[in-house]
Amino acid sequence: MKQWSLGLGWLLLFCSVAQAERWQTTVAEQTALHHDAVVELRHWFHQYPELSNREFNTAKRVAKELRDLGFDEVSEGVAHTGVVGILKGGKPGPVVALRADMDALPVKEKTGLPFASKATALWEGKQTGVMHACGHDAHMAILLGVAKVLVDLRAEIPGTVMFIFQPAEEGPPGEEEGGAELMLAEGLFEGPNRPGAVFGLHVFPGPTGSIMYRPDGFMAAADYLEIIVNGVQTHGSMPWSGVDPIAAAAQVVASLQTVVSRQMNISQAPAVVTLGTIEGGNRGNIIPETVRMTGTIRTLDPVMRLEIHQRIKDTAKAAAATLGARAEVIIDLGYPVTVNDPVLTRSMAGVLEWASAGQAGVVPPIMGAEDFSYLSAEVPGLFFALGVAPEPGDDRVVGVNHSPFFYVNDNALDVGVKALAGLALTWLEATGPETN
């Protein structure tokens, strides 16, 4: 990877602008031609969402679309429900990969859209609404739009394009494996179709059609946090005869707020510690034995990541001990930092600028996490954000990603199609067949 960055990377940096211009007009025309089909696909995926590792009908629709387009290879059941399509161009050349994620979230939709999800599913033992509240419906539709564009240009493509439709980006349920990590373990990037670069995008509530990116660390690492506070159960009228884990848990929650704000040098890199659930007891007049809390730890620096883990353990245990309780802290490593190869990112910046009509720019790190990080750790990668906010003057209620009001403006889809198609074609042509 280092050798790539110093050699081929500089070639890309100087050649990419000229190569991008060669494809711009044709890609823009083909994208406009397929606009209505891409919108229809996005609405279908949105209306019929499926949870992680359960994307059965989603995968069938994706595979059918690729086969109908005449892809050379279409593999199903990759990492449970993933789909991988191989499109071979008419000219020799290397392999480039494009990725979209497929899974939805256990969120009941409140957008009021005519194609809003009414789906429900069982999640952690409870029946819940299911919604594409993070825009994966748009990601799939955009990538299928790219497939339509590149099939039209197939004879002129100097290489091969791998289309990755990945399940379980939001994390597999329970003890299951899944996502990009499992796809790689099953050999996604092994053999003759190993790509030399991988590109992907994620929609965000920024100005419609804008593109946000960053070289190096773009999105945070995300680690699972679980804290179990153990006390001694007793009658609610006699707290002195036991140890109250609820009061101790409150101390833990308050104390954890100081880990980032008072114990870490956040001028070095941002970090976020969040507790998202807290559960304890089943009756108002009983002090329970235990309280369980879960959350996430978001970091951008590998050294800080480990230090924060240790400080969380020390802080939680000390806080619980002030009331005589014991805290058990479990931290499981999750997605690593999503790193954009800096030379690849600089060399492709002109493509992003063109696709967004001048609305592309470098932004601060995003504290959300992405398992695209596994792919970009394997080969040089570039992951960027696409703005999908409502048009100016549209006063509808919208929310950020994972909100029941999350909204995707269909007018942004063409920008995503142009960007990914342009990146793939520019990289293939600039890289050349000698590196295949």
Tens of pLDDT along the chain (436 residues)? 334 444 455 455 455 455 557 789 999 999 999 999 999 999 999 999 999 999 999 999 999 999 999 999 999 999 999 999 999 999 999 999 999 999 999 999 999 999 999 999 999 889 999 999 999 999 999 999 999 999 999 999 999 999 999 999 999 998 899 999 999 999 999 999 999 999 999 999 999 999 999 999 999 999 999 999 999 999 999 999 999 999 999 999 999 999 999 999 999 999 999 999 999 999 999 999 999 999 999 999 989 999 999 999 999 999 999 999 999 999 999 999 999 999 999 999 999 999 999 999 999 999 999 999 999 999 999 999 999 999 999 999 999 999 999 999 999 999 999 999 999 999 999 998 754 4
The count of other CB atoms within 10 Å of the CB of residue 150 is 23
41 with 140: CB under 8 angstroms? yes
DSSP 318-369: HHHHTTT-EEEEEEEEEE--EEE-HHHHHHHHHHHHHHTTT-EEE-PPB-S-
Fill in the amino acid letter for 275. L
Fold designation for 221-335: Alpha-Beta Plaits (3.30.70)
- Burial grade of 135 (CB within 10 A; 0-12, 13-18, 19 or more): buried
The token pair at 104 is: 């939805």
DSSP 126-173: EEEE-B-TTSHHHHHHHHHHHHHHHHHTGGG-EEEEEEEEES-TT--S
The count of other CB atoms within 10 Å of the CB of residue 282 is 7
Query: Measured between alpha carbons, how far is 34 from 1 in angstroms, rounded to an integer?
Result: 36
Q: Which residues are catalytic?
A: 103, 169
Query: Measured between alpha carbons, how far is 188 from 192 in angstroms, rounded to an integer?
Result: 11
The reply to whether 2-219+337-435 and 221-335 are identical in fold is no
Q: How many residues does the chain have?
A: 436
The torsion defined by the Cα of 360, 365, 367 and 373, in degrees rounded to 10, comes to 80
Query: SS3 of 372, please?
Result: helix
- pLDDT value of residue 15: 53
Query: Measured between alpha carbons, how far is 193 from 359 in angstroms, rounded to an integer?
Result: 33
Residues paired with residue 265 on neighbouring β-strands, in sequence order: none
Query: Which pLDDT tens digit goes with each residue over 53-107?
Result: 999 999 999 999 999 999 999 999 999 999 999 999 999 999 999 999 999 999 9
Query: Measured between alpha carbons, how far is 275 from 250 in angstroms, rounded to an integer?
Result: 12
Instruction: Produce one character per residue of 289-321: b if its CB has 16 or more CB atoms within 10 Å, e if not.
Output: bbbebbbbbbbbbeebbebbbebbbebbbebbe
Query: Measured between alpha carbons, how far is 391 from 412 in angstroms, rounded to an integer?
Result: 10
The count of other CB atoms within 10 Å of the CB of residue 357 is 12
Query: Measured between alpha carbons, how far is 164 from 141 in angstroms, rounded to an integer?
Result: 13
Query: Measured between alpha carbons, how far is 312 from 320 in angstroms, rounded to an integer?
Result: 12
User: What are the residue boundaries of the structural domains of the chain, listed by start?
Assistant: 2-219+337-435, 221-335
Query: SS3 of 191, please?
Result: coil
Q: What CATH number does the domain located at 2-219+337-435 have?
A: 3.40.630.10
